[in-house]
Every structure is written in structure tokens, then in C-alpha cells.
Structure 1
């Protein structure tokens, strides 16, 4: 009997309220240097003396926030170096898994903004054609197909300057229920394909005087793992390690190439259809448009970056520091190992199940 999607649940009136929204409001108000300095200026406009306690407290707070902001700028400069100059009219962007989901959103945005975009996917594009976007049917797990399509892109569009490794698959089964074909397909798509595309597109990008940008889509699951995601978690952990090591190599050998690592939580795409977040306040489901905004901002600025969405994803590395007992308690409270019990994948959301090696669910992240 095929899996069916769980019945829809009515959201409460406060469902849009999340810790991420609260932090965003605070960052643009009390924790923003400009706003912080307005407070002592307002006190001064009321003829308050400089040595008055409220004035001293507000100045101390504004100074602290300003120093934190400066420290953040210095930290980013040390970690990621100077940005490169980006001219979208001269950029050729390659997006794997760009026929739907986040990949398609990025392709459409850059296509409309005048960049040249090449989408690599085994599935046809959901909207048929998009302005400025050229579709190439390609299985990124086949290095020969990747090489062939790379030659076609070079001939049709020019030398790629931006590579976005976005393709992903989810099997969603316990390890003991997975076939060897499913395991191989999952690891090939989620991990090995990154090696194939990097080895294919990086050499030309490295020779480009204007440099280039490599964007890697990983996941918080690569850090914490989860039941029914053994293959996916292993691949995403490998992707994160691959990106960090590659960034270290490029920093020494090709400093003009920028690297962007994206580590999102659960995305509201068919890839994880049916999976419910255990806590919408602390662990909200991420909309693709929110991730796309951050990725586009990093690419446009020409800087390297480490993007983690939502808020808990920025601190997920501290999970490994906790004692094993606290980790077990945190997993139980978060429900990370039971979330996949309602998983139905793209097949349950109106899409088609891709037949082949082990009948895996294929969808762009």
C-alpha cells in the first residue's frame, strides 16, 4: 500500500512566531549599533547630563554593541578574506539539481537578473523554461555525463564562474531495510557528485582572472545524524568536510575563488515531504526563499561565507561538545529520531517516484 501524506494540521495564531523572528527583530533594534547610539542622543536631546546614570548605561550599551559589530567584521575578514568583484552580466552559473525546489528558485532569480544560468538535472524543469536559464539533462552521479555537459556549457554559454552543488536524494528508510543499490545511489548523488562537478568545473574557474564562487549545500543532519537517514547523514557530513578542506586548499592555491557552505535545517520542499518539525518555535521549517536570500547575498557580495539557517543551525556544532547523556536527552526532547516516521517523500506530495537503482526518491534540495 503506497504511503499517504499525513492529514493537514491547522496552525495556531502564533505559529509564525519563532525564536528566529525574535532574534531578527532584536538584531535590527536593540542589538544594532545605529539604534543603540540613538538612545543616548535622545537622552541628550532632553538635556540629560552626560554623567546621569541612564546616559552612562546607554553609552556603555551602545559602545558594547559597536565593539561586537566591529569584532564580527574583523572575524569575517580574517576567516573569509577580501570579496571578489561580481558582475552578473559576466557570470555563468551552474546549478545541479536546479529543476525544482531551492535550485530552481536560485536559477530563476539569477536568470531574471541577467546572469547566464545552466541547470543540470535528471528531471525536466518544473516550469518548462525560465528566462536566462538553459536546461541540460544530466545525471551528476555519472562523471562522463558531467564532462559531456561541461563541454556543452563551455560551448553554448561560456566558462562557468559560479558552481552551486545543490542536487540531493533522500531514501528515508532504516539501514536494514535499504538495498545496496539505494545506498550507492544516495551516496553517489549526495556526496560523490560533488567531487565530479568540482573536478570538472574548478580547473576552468581557477584560470579565470575574476575568480569564481563554489556553493555547497549541506545539512545539520550531517552533524547530528537521525534515524532513517543514515545514508543522507553520512553523505552530508562528508560534504561539509569536503567543503572545509577544499576551502583550505583554494585559500592557498587559488585565492580568487570564494567558497560558501550552506547548512540549513529542514526545508519545506518535497524532499522531506511529510516530516514534521517537533518544535516550530525553536526549530522552524525553513522556506527555500529564506535560504535563497542568504545564498544570493553571499554570491553577489563576492565573499566567502558559512550560512546556517535557522538559528539553532548556527550553534549545532556545540551539540558534539555535550556529554553523551545530555546528547541523548537533547535528541529525545528534539524528536530528531522520530521525525522521519511520517516521511512520505516526493511520491506522497504529488510528484513521481524515480525508478532505477533501488527506487530512491529524487528531488533537488
Structure 2
């Protein structure tokens, strides 16, 4: 056994280039209304007349981009309604699976910003120095345990106003290689746990005069499915369906905001060892990117659907393709081979103990 850890593998500078990078650049340049209008202003500064070809094209483009931005804003308001006022000093945030990864990032940010945060997890906090965060040992698969912890949170911190369902479990085996205990544990953690927490905390949220926010972290795999992820994909598809159905039921409570998150592969220990088949079209997503979008939506007091990277926002169109093209797309993407190198959180912990960090 080698007692010295291996140096980190250096990736090529091209590894950071992706379709999402190009889109981000476009969104702050040619596709941004303010920037688009600067172009005809520059032409005008050169004393070009309004009837010249460059001026006509640039004004038409700026007008088109502006109308798209306005239409997108109206579409969002029609779909999700008005925002609610969010005052972090009055908010009590509950995060399941918040001891590490994405959940811990969100907890740390809100804790540093002065919000009251309760983290529910079976594992201990990876960062015990984070301020403003109270840890409660809780297994989201246990209804009685959730009820007990909910009472403690209300007694210690106050009634929760923001619930972030983030707890997750990945088995990473073929269906025939899993025993039923693993299947039940996965489905309970990834799906039923969301039902349990919502049923527990939602009544108090509805009673809140200032409204509340529920964030459900699903996955793009819930739309696509993938080999060795039958349990996980089924649960995440259920989370997406639960979110949409609950949002329909809560229309009579406009103060309750609903945020659905469907990310691609995250660079967290949960999916350690999984190799993305195409880093350009399907790059691995850093948790900080998803956390930033979730925090932005919560702070704005809006309902939203957050999908990242780019393909995660357009994945619904996959089901529109003819079945033959769907098959070809799966083969080209390599989605059904990504889990062949999976080691997961436990594999990462064992590797680190043996002096071989992943």
C-alpha cells in the first residue's frame, strides 16, 4: 500500500470549455439588451445615418433581443406569479442532506449572511466551524424522527419558512445486483423523504403571513434514466412529478414559492468516479454553480425551474424525438456507460483512508 497520496491529475486547459461557457458569454454580450443597444449607439457615434445598413441591422437585433427579454419576464410572471419579500433575518431555513456537498454550501452561505439555518442529516457536518448553522441528526427515511426534529427546530429556532429537500442516496448497481433493502433505502431517501418533510413542514409554512419557499432537488436523470441508476432515476422522476403536482395544489396559496432543481452530474462525492462522456455538451457541474442559482431564486422570492448545464434545460425535447433518434442519442452521449467507473461516497472515503484521494 502506498502511504503517500498521489498528486492531483492536471487537466488540459480545454477541459473548461463547454457549450455552457459559450452561452454565458453570449448572455452577457450579444444576447443582453443593454449590450445590444450599445452597438447602434457606437454606429451613431461614428455619425452613421439611421437608414444605413449597419444601423438598421443593429437596431433590429437590439429590438429583437429586448422583446425576447421582456417576453421571457412576462412568461415567468404568468407561470409563477409575483415574488414574495424575503428578509433573511426572519427566515428559518431547513436543509436536508446538508452535512456535505451542495446542501452544506447553501447552509454556509446563508449562515454567513445572518439567516437561521437547520441542517438535517445522518452524517456529521463536514465543516463544524460554520456559523449560523444548527445541526440536527435526522434520518429523512424515518417519519417519527422528522416529526421529533421539526418540534425541536420550532422550539429552538422558530417556525421554518424555507425548506430545501436535498438528501440523496446513490447505490450505483444494476437492478438485478441490488437487494430489496438497497432499493427501499434508495427510494425512501430520494423520494419518500421529500413527502415526509413536506407533509411535516408545509402546514406551518401555509400559516406564515410572509410566505415560504420549498426547494426540491431532483435530477436530469429523472427525465432520461440511465443504466445502473434505475432506483435513483425512478425516485428523481417521482420528485419532479411531486413538485409539479404540489405546485398545482398550492396555487391557492400564492405566498408559497416552489423551486425545482434538475442538475446534471455534480462534482460531489455522491457521484465520485463517474466520468462524463462529453465534457463540452455535458460538463460536470460544480456545486457552487447550482448553489448560486438556488440562492438567487430564494433571495428574489420567486418560483423557478433551475436546470444546469445547458442540456438539462432542454432535456424535455429528447422525448419529442423519434425513438430511433433517441436510441442514437443515448449511444452517442454515452449516458448508459457513465456509471461503469462509479465508486460513490463510500469508495471515496475508503480511498482517502488508504492514502489515495480521488
C-alpha separation between the residues in 2 aligned to 1:305 and 1:7?
Answer: 41
C-alpha separation between the residues in 2 aligned to 1:10 and 1:86?
Answer: 42
Moved over 2 A (4+): 6-10
Show the counterpart of 2:314: 315
Superposition TM-score, scaled by structure 1 size:
0.93
3-state SS, counterpart of residue 176 of structure 1: helix
C-alpha separation between the residues in 2 aligned to 1:123 and 1:134?
Answer: 14
Show the counterpart of 2:160: 160
C-alpha separation between the residues in 2 aligned to 1:7 and 1:142?
Answer: 41
Please list the CA deviations of residues 313-363 of structure 1 after superposition, one character each: whole Å capped at 9, or x if unmatched: 0000111111111111000000000000000011221269xxxxxxxxxxx
Structure 1 residue 14: Cα displacement: 1.2
C-alpha separation between the residues in 1 aligned to 2:347 and 2:193?
Answer: 26
Moved more, 243-252 or 83-92: 243-252
C-alpha separation between the residues in 2 aligned to 1:27 and 1:120?
Answer: 37
1:199-348 equivalences under 5 Å are 199-252=199-252, 254-348=253-347
* Gap runs ≥5 in structure 2: 1-5, 352-358
Show the counterpart of 2:141: 141
The structure with higher relative contact order (CA 8 Å, sep 6+) is 1
1:16-165 equivalences under 5 Å are 16-165=16-165
Shift in CA distance, 263/136, structure 1 to aligned 2, threshold 3 Å = same
C-alpha separation between the residues in 1 aligned to 2:173 and 2:332?
Answer: 22
3-state SS, counterpart of residue 117 of structure 2: strand
Structure 1 residue 13: Cα displacement: 2.1
Please list the CA deviations of residues 16-37 of structure 1 after superposition, one character each: whole Å capped at 9, or x if unmatched: 1111011000110011111111
C-alpha separation between the residues in 2 aligned to 1:79 and 1:132?
Answer: 34
Structure 1 residue 255: Cα displacement: 1.3
3-state SS, counterpart of residue 154 of structure 2: helix
C-alpha separation between the residues in 2 aligned to 1:104 and 1:265?
Answer: 19
Show the counterpart of 1:355: none
Structure 1 residue 15: Cα displacement: 1.1
RMSD (Å), alpha carbons: 1.5
3-state SS, counterpart of residue 159 of structure 1: coil
* Gap runs ≥5 in structure 1: 1-5, 353-365
Structure 1 residue 8: Cα displacement: 6.9
C-alpha separation between the residues in 1 aligned to 2:47 and 2:135?
Answer: 65
Shift in CA distance, 73/351, structure 1 to aligned 2, threshold 3 Å = farther
1:166-181 equivalences under 5 Å are 166-181=166-181
Shift in CA distance, 113/8, structure 1 to aligned 2, threshold 3 Å = closer
Superposition TM-score, scaled by structure 2 size:
0.95
Please list the CA deviations of residues 249-305 of structure 1 after superposition, one character each: whole Å capped at 9, or x if unmatched: 1112x1110000000000000000000000111100000000000000000000000
C-alpha separation between the residues in 2 aligned to 1:46 and 1:116?
Answer: 55
C-alpha separation between the residues in 2 aligned to 1:269 and 1:212?
Answer: 28
3-state SS, counterpart of residue 188 of structure 1: helix
